[in-house]
């Protein structure tokens, strides 16, 4: 291969001319499309970044709102628990008071029944003692006694 300066310069001019022609053709026919595609891509990236920022802010707002609601729920739960404890204490006191009253009523009723049974038992014993006394007096005495006046007088004597 024979390389001379004239062939090198000729090749250089041909390549430079081809390159300039290629730049001219790209500029005239393709450059507008390429720049519009790149501009659209830049706008899409920018809007995606803005959308991501808005979504992040919205997520932060929702998280803070959720935290506030959670704190409110905790406070409400504490209030409900405290009210339930107070109600339980009141119910406990009411039940205890009612149980004491019922126990007092039952005790009083039992005491009344005991007193009534005691009085009945004493009355019954008095009658039996009077009958036994009259029977004993009749056996011991030779005289004929009228039972009724003696019985009444013996009962009076024994009672007092």
- Annotate 61-74 with DSSP letters as a single string: HHHHHHHHHHHHHH
Going by pLDDT thresholds of 50, 70 and 90, the confidence category of residue 129 is confident
Overall pTM > 0.75: no
For residues 19-29, give the mean pLDDT: 93
Contact between 154 and 134 under an 8 Å Cβ cutoff? The reply is yes
Work out the mean pLDDT of the chain and round it to a whole number. Answer: 87
Going by pLDDT thresholds of 50, 70 and 90, the confidence category of residue 52 is very high
């Amino acid at each position: 291969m024979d390389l001379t300066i004239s062939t090198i310069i000729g090749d250089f001019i041909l390549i430079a001319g081809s390159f300039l022609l290629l730049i001219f053709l790209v500029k005239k026919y393709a450059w507008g499309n390429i720049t519009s595609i790149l501009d659209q891509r830049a706008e899409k990236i920018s809007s995606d970044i803005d959308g991501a920022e808005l979504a992040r802010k919205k997520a932060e707002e929702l998280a803070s709102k959720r935290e506030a609601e959670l704190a409110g729920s905790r406070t409400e739960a504490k209030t409900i628990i405290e009210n339930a404890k107070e109600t339980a204490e009141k119910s406990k006191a009411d039940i205890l008071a009612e149980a004491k009253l019922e126990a007092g009523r039952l005790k009083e009723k039992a005491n009344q029944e005991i007193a009534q049974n005691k009085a009945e038992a004493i009355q019954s014993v008095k009658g039996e003692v009077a009958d036994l006394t009259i029977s004993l007096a009749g056996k011991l005495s030779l005289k004929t006694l009228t039972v009724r006046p003696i019985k009444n007088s013996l009962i009076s004597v024994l009672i007092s």
